[in-house]
Structure 1
Amino acid sequence: MTKAQEKEFLKQLEKHQNIVHKVCKMYTNDDASHKDLFQEISIQLWKAYSKFRGDSKFTTWMYRVSLNTAITLYRKSKKRIATQDIAEISFKVKAEEYDATTEENIKFMYAAIKELNDIDKALVLLYLEGKDYKEIAETLGVSQVNARVKMTRIKRKLKSLLSS
């Protein structure tokens, strides 16, 4: 990979790192796990960047890699997330501090979302990001109709969870 590609990757990662933070928030329960998952997703994005062809938006690709990494690690071990040493990678990303207090107003929603299965969590996350059903379907590898039906069912389930 050239220096220009490395520079572009770092620029895109820093610009869109909130995507990774949101995925981490959905799949972790504490700051240490959040930081570990953020690091692992960053490494996986770096490893996969040379395969990014630009067929989709960078953010769509970033969501897909992030969600796949989080789901894979979550399924491997629900108690501990395996990580790699970032010292093996030659770049450093200036991470914005993630302020959990700003998320306080939506903690109940996150708690309800965490009760969903892995795919439903991913669908809700993309929906809350304002992604259209075409992009959600592309990111998750499902049809648009399936994404719409699942979202309708998820909304009902979340309403039920939040009202109880």
Structure 2
Amino acid sequence: MAGKTQQEFETLLQAHRGIVFKTVNTYCWRQEDRGDLAQEIAAQLWKAWPKYDSSRNFTTWMYRIALNVAISFVREEVKHRRVFTSLAEDGYEATPVPDPGTTDRMERLHRFIEREPPFERALLLLYLEDRSQKEIAEILGITPTNVSTKISRLKQRIRTEI
């Protein structure tokens, strides 16, 4: 493992577990899906750990893996729901439970985000975390100029729709 220990991994994962929680809560509304996705992210982080280059920012590496896993998870979930919608017990619709402390504007923002495709959700999550355009670009695998353009378009849509 090139000097990387399980203890180092666990310490870093624990220190930055908020990344997993934010990603999971951005992509999943059902509790059981959140648990499944969190486990899958942790498993993929562990699988990729031997190849982690410690000269690079750990949180950037972690976000990149977490978001890729989440996007794949959502794509698979959508395929699964298309096939099994007739088997739904109660016509489940992914609607988050609103927090009584949130404002109407925040609820509209949450609804806006949940309607966005997975890639745009990732972009919004990183932007709202005040990540730099360079870091967002590195995490998402696009250019900083593309990040700027996409964020600008999303901001305009948010102003228009919210």
Please give the range of the TM-score, normalised by the shorter of the 2 chains: 0.7 to 0.9
The letter of the residue matching 1:154 is L
C-alpha distance in structure 1 between counterparts of 2:136 and 2:160, whole Å: 24
Partner of 2:159: 159
The letter of the residue matching 1:150 is K
Contact 2:2 2:50 in 1 (8 A): no
Aligned residues with identical type, % of pairs = 36
The letter of the residue matching 1:36 is D
The letter of the residue matching 1:132 is S
Partner of 1:71: 71
> Could you say if the C-alpha distance between residues 53 and 146 of structure 1 is closer, same or farther in structure 2, counting changes exceeding 3 Å?
same
Larger radius of gyration: 2
Partner of 2:51: 51
C-alpha distance in structure 2 between counterparts of 1:102 and 1:58, whole Å: 31
Contact 2:26 2:121 in 1 (8 A): yes
Deviations along 1:47-104, whole A, 9 cap, x unmatched? 11111112421000000000000111111222769xxxxxxxxxxxxxxxxxx88795
Partner of 2:32: 32
Partner of 2:119: 119
C-alpha distance in structure 2 between counterparts of 1:10 and 1:102, whole Å: 31
Partner of 2:85: none
How many residues are matched? 144
Question: Structure 2: 5+ residue runs without aligned partners?
Answer: 82-96
C-alpha distance in structure 1 between counterparts of 2:161 and 2:22, whole Å: 21
Pairwise mapping of residues 62-141 of structure 1 onto structure 2 (< 5 A)?
62-78=62-78, 105=102, 106-141=106-141
> Could you say if the C-alpha distance between residues 70 and 104 of structure 1 is closer, same or farther in structure 2, counting changes exceeding 3 Å?
farther
Contact 1:64 1:140 in 2 (8 A): yes
> Could you say if the C-alpha distance between residues 147 and 119 of structure 1 is closer, same or farther in structure 2, counting changes exceeding 3 Å?
same
Partner of 1:41: 41
Shift of 1:26: 1.1
Contact 1:44 1:65 in 2 (8 A): yes
Contact 1:23 1:70 in 2 (8 A): yes
> Could you say if the C-alpha distance between residues 20 and 103 of structure 1 is closer, same or farther in structure 2, counting changes exceeding 3 Å?
farther
SS of 2:155's equivalent?
A: helix
Shift of 1:5: 1.2
Question: Structure 1: 5+ residue runs without aligned partners?
Answer: 82-99
TM-score (norm 2): 0.80
